Amino acid sequence: MQLSQNQVRLFQGTRYSISEIELQDVPQSIAEAFKYDDPEKQLQLHTGTPQGGGERAAMFHGHGGATEEQKVNILRYFRKVDSGIQELLKKVRSPLILAGVEYLFPIYKQANNYAYLLDAGITGNPDELKPEELHAQAWQIVQTYFEQEQQELVNRYQELTGTGQTSSNIIEIVPAAYFQRVDTLFVAVGIQK
């Protein structure tokens, strides 16, 4: 997920491809998230001067510590983002990788409710990265995650060998799979029967 105060984008990827998922009910920027807030609040949000490519960065002004106030508002924004993302990912178990400026990661993790958010992320300004660049960097992170998960499953299989809870006999495996009694199935790559 590409995450900044000015833009949120969600991508779905495989080993060889990446595609953007259309976001609905997800604020696309911090300014959009707060455009209907109570005007009586002491926080004032406005856009500053253009930054590079004509984008305007969100600026906060208010009473008290600006840095803490900004963190609180970023957290509020990320909770709104997370709420919309949760709706999209509610039936998914895929790893989620954040791409953004590093100081935003712990704030988003505080707002996050998705169980498969990875600790590792892509740091830097994601607004400047093309989807293919995000894909290449994300795959490096995800590949490590999948290899670690696979090794943990192999270790578990080896621990359970001889207990009656594992099998390499296809005659036992097929009926067990049919009756949903298979937790993990290992299939050799490129071999189908």
Reported as a single tens digit per residue, the pLDDT across 40-54 is 443 444 444 444 444
Q: Minimal CA–CA distance to 81: which of 154, 159, 137, 8? A: 8
Q: Minimal CA–CA distance to 4: which of 102, 84, 115, 114? A: 102
d(C-alpha 87, C-alpha 30), whole Å: 19
Query: Does residue 184 lie in a domain region?
Result: no
d(C-alpha 1, C-alpha 134), whole Å: 9
Domain span holding position 25: 2-146
Query: Does residue 179 lie in a domain region?
Result: no
Query: Does residue 170 lie in a domain region?
Result: no
Q: Over range 5-34, report the average pLDDT.
A: 86
For the cut 60, the answer to whether the pLDDT of residue 175 exceeds it is yes
Query: Does residue 61 lie in a domain region?
Result: yes
Query: Does residue 133 lie in a domain region?
Result: yes
Residue 179, SS3 per DSSP:
coil
The pTM of the full predicted model, rounded to 2 decimals, is 0.66
pLDDT at 128: 83
For the cut 60, the answer to whether the pLDDT of residue 39 exceeds it is no
Query: Does residue 183 lie in a domain region?
Result: no
Q: How many domains does the chain have?
A: 1
Query: Does residue 96 lie in a domain region?
Result: yes
Structural element, H or E, at residue 170: helix 170-178
d(C-alpha 68, C-alpha 74), whole Å: 10
Of 193 and 7, the one with more pLDDT: 7
155 falls in which pLDDT band (50, 70, 90)?
very high
Q: Where are the beta strands (DSSP E) in 79-175?
A: 99-100, 122-123
For the cut 60, the answer to whether the pLDDT of residue 63 exceeds it is no
Amino acid at 68: E
For 112-139, what is each residue's pLDDT tens digit? 999 999 999 999 888 888 899 999 999 9
Query: Does residue 163 lie in a domain region?
Result: no
